[in-house]
């Protein structure tokens, strides 16, 4: 496979040749190697290894963007021409890009374990079989199981007309497990997901979690469904991470804001959204997580951005264009899934900071409430969210009581943030995230947080009178 490192001089020369025809020019080359395995029941649906190479050119002229993606590196000059022509056709305003520091660097996210490219396909398949057998052997009520394994090792070479020349590489791994149990008309599913950018070994010690996922599905068959109502809820760190990513993180992405004046007004700096002890961050700078890297896909150095400080909105996530249009600093959040797509504003690692309330104290004085852990799924629509808990219990008189099933949590994100009553002193990083936006699904992200106590959350169906 062509080593794109050898293209540094070619990219630099092309940038010099064409930079005067546009306001901004970026060329990004990429090579990737990956494995995909999908088992469903006793069938192998996917078993593949692949290698790909390609690139993209982005050009901006008078605020108009041209984009060209390609597989043949020999056509690079033609693709640059195409992107420039497209940009000059549509540009009719002003190019506003926040400045970036010139840089020339080679960097690789460090491994603490084994590079997945060094692990034979048969060994990866055996790992999937091992976990699939665990799922299937839990109970004869298990009707469907699935195990998915994926790894991808990418090397990226980025050159821009702002004197940026970056070579960056990393590996990303992920496994997803699912077991569905059935008893008559009742169907329940248990799921577990994990991922890593540190090494293959991070996926090899999940027997207990995989077994527990199947057991959750079986055990939930005989549980009573929760009675729909507004409750005070306590959620565990996994649900907190999902909540801060899905419900709040997407609203912090500035491309959603400058295109929507009403939402920009709602997300105005200095507005209070939560209690004084609420701190929310996003950033790729913390090392070792799924959303970590050194530079984003526009050559901006990774940062840590505080979004909410002491309950007040103080930051948002930017590309160079959104930062330029809103007259703010870029945050290093312009990311693309691969060379087929242009970079857009995306989260990296998003978290709520640890609080000071002992976890056991979160339950005190709750006469009737719900304790929810893990997640099955979720969706957001603007300010509104709905999440399904993986397992849940009623809280009665300050104590965790009987387990219940079919627990969904829904509400308005701003009201929910304002209704946070206490923040636990625990914390957990969930590395299972694959985020979707703008047709780019499966982008690795991390999310985390502590347990939270939140009042007046809609649980289950309609609220009872």
Same domain as 156, residue 55: yes
Same domain as 254, residue 196: no
217 domain-assigned: yes
Question: Is it the case that residue 122 has pLDDT exceeding 90?
Answer: yes
Q: What is the mean pLDDT of residues 278-297?
A: 97
Same domain as 29, residue 144: yes
Residue 5 corresponds to which tokens in the numbers above?
């490192």
pLDDT for residue 465: 37
Same domain as 186, residue 247: no
Same domain as 249, residue 202: no
Same domain as 236, residue 160: no
Same domain as 243, residue 196: no
* pLDDT tens digits for range 160-194: 999 999 999 999 999 999 999 999 999 999 999 99
Please give the backbone phi and psi of residue 424, each rounded to the nearest 5 degrees, phi first.
-70, 160
pLDDT band for position 463 (50/70/90)? Answer: very low
Q: 83, 68 in Cβ contact below 8 A? A: yes
Our count of domains for the chain comes to: 2
* pLDDT tens digits for range 50-85: 999 999 999 999 999 999 999 999 999 999 999 999
pLDDT for residue 322: 97
Q: What is the mean pLDDT of residues 84-89?
A: 98
Q: Which residue, 195, 221, 247, sits at the end of a domain?
A: 221
Q: What is the mean pLDDT of residues 191-205?
A: 95
pLDDT for residue 1: 54
Q: Alpha carbon 374 to chain centroid distance?
A: 16
State the SS3 of the chain.
CCCHHHHHHHHHHHHHHHHHHCCEEEEEEEEEEEEEEEEECCEEEEEEEEEEEEEEEEEEECCEEEEEEECCHHHHHHHHHHHHHHHHHHCCCCCCCCCCCCEEEEEECCCCCCCHHHCCHHHHHHHHHHHHHHHHHCCCCEEEEEEEEEEEEEEEEEEECCCEEEEEEEEEEEEEEEEEEEECCEEEEEEEEEEECCCHHHHCCCHHHHHHHHHHHHHHCCCCECCCEEEEEEECHHHHHHHHHHHHHHHHEHHHHHCCHHHHHHCCCCCECCCCCCCEEEECCCCCCCCCCCECCCCCECCEEEEEECCEECCCECCHHHHHHCCCCCCCCEECCCCCCCCEECCCEEEECCCCECHHHHHCCCCEEEEEECCCEEEEECCEEEEECCEEEEEECCEEEEEEECCEEEEEHHHHHHCEEEEECCCEEEEEEEEEECCEEEEEEEEEECCEEEEEEEECCCCCC
CATH of the domain at 168: 3.30.2290.10
Q: 45, 24 in Cβ contact below 8 A? A: no
Q: Are strands 368-373 and 229-235 parallel, antiparallel or unpaired?
A: parallel
190 domain-assigned: yes
Question: Is it the case that residue 461 has pLDDT exceeding 70?
Answer: no
pTM of the model: 0.95
Q: What is the mean pLDDT of residues 458-462?
A: 74
Same domain as 179, residue 265: no
Same domain as 203, residue 72: yes
43 domain-assigned: yes
Q: Which residue, 186, 221, 256, sits at the end of a domain?
A: 221
104 domain-assigned: yes
Average pLDDT of the chain to the nearest whole number? 95
Same domain as 89, residue 7: yes
301-305: which pairs have CB atoms within 8 A and are 24 or more residues apart? 301/101, 301/103, 301/332, 302/332, 302/348, 303/331, 303/332, 305/281, 305/331, 305/333
465 domain-assigned: no
Q: Which residue, 203, 221, 239, sits at the end of a domain?
A: 221
Question: Is it the case that residue 462 has pLDDT exceeding 50?
Answer: no
CA distance linking residue 65 with residue 272, whole number of Å: 36
Q: How far is residue 376 from each of residues 190, 296, 440, 442, measured CA to CA in Å?
A: 7, 30, 21, 17
Please give the backbone phi and psi of residue 260, each rounded to the nearest 5 degrees, phi first.
-135, 90
Same domain as 305, residue 452: yes
pLDDT for residue 50: 96
* pLDDT tens digits for range 394-453: 999 999 999 999 999 999 999 999 999 999 999 999 998 789 999 999 999 999 999 999
Same domain as 268, residue 210: no
* pLDDT tens digits for range 323-382: 999 999 999 999 999 999 999 999 999 999 999 999 999 999 999 999 999 988 888 888
17 domain-assigned: yes
Domain that holds residue 436: 229-460
Lowest-pLDDT range, 242-251, 256-265, 300-309?
Answer: 256-265
200 domain-assigned: yes
Q: What is the mean pLDDT of residues 20-29?
A: 98
């Amino acid at each position: 496979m062509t080593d794109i490192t050898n293209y540094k001089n070619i990219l630099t020369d092309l940038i010099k040749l064409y930079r005067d025809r546009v306001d901004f020019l970026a060329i990004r080359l990429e090579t990737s190697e990956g494995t995909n395995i999908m088992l469903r029941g006793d069938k192998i649906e996917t078993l593949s290894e692949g290698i790909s190479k390609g690139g993209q050119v982005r050009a901006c002229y008078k605020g108009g963007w041209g984009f060209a993606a390609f597989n043949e590196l020999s056509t690079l000059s033609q693709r640059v021409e195409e992107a420039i022509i497209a940009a000059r056709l549509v540009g009719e305003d002003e190019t506003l890009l926040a400045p970036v520091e010139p840089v020339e660097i080679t960097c690789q996210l460090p491994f603490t374990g084994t590079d997945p490219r060094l692990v034979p396909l048969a060994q990866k398949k055996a790992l999937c079989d091992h976990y699939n057998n665990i799922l299937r052997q839990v109970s004869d009520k298990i009707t469907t199981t699935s195990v998915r394994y994926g790894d991808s090792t990418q090397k990226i070479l980025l050159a821009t007309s702002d004197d940026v020349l970056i070579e960056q590489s990393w590996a990303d791994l992920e496994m997803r497990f699912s077991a569905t149990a059935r008893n008559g008309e009742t169907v329940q599913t248990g799921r577990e997901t994990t991922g890593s950018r540190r090494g293959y070994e991070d996926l090899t010690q999940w027997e207990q979690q995989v077994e527990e996922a199947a057991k959750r599905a079986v055990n939930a068959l005989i549980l009573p469904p929760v009675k729909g109502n507004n409750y005070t809820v306590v959620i565990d760190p996994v649900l907190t991470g999902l909540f801060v990513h899905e419900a709040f993180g997407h609203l912090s992405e500035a491309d959603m804001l400058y295109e929507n004046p009403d939402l920009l007004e709602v997300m105005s700096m200095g507005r209070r959204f939560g209690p004084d002890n609420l701190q929310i961050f996003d950033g790729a700078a913390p090392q070792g997580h799924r959303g970590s890297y050194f530079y984003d896909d526009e050559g901006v150095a990774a940062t840590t951005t505080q979004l909410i400080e002491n309950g007040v909105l103080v930051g948002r996530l930017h590309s160079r264009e959104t930062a330029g249009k809103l007259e703010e600093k870029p945050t290093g959040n312009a990311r693309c899934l691969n060379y087929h797509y242009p970079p857009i504003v995306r989260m990296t690692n998003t978290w709520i900071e640890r609080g000071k309330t002992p976890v056991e104290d979160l339950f005190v004085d709750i006469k009737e409430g719900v304790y929810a852990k893990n997640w099955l799924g979720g969706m957001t629509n603007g300010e509104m969210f709905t999440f399904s808990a993986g397992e849940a219990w009623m809280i009665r008189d300050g104590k965790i009581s009987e387990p219940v099933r079919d627990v969904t949590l829904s509400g308005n994100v701003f009201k929910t943030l304002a209704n946070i009553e206490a923040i636990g002193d625990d914390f957990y990083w969930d590395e299972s995230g694959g985020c979707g936006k703008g047709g780019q699904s499966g982008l690795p992200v991390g999310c985390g947080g502590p347990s939270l106590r939140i009042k007046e959350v809609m649980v289950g169906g309609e609220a009872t009178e």
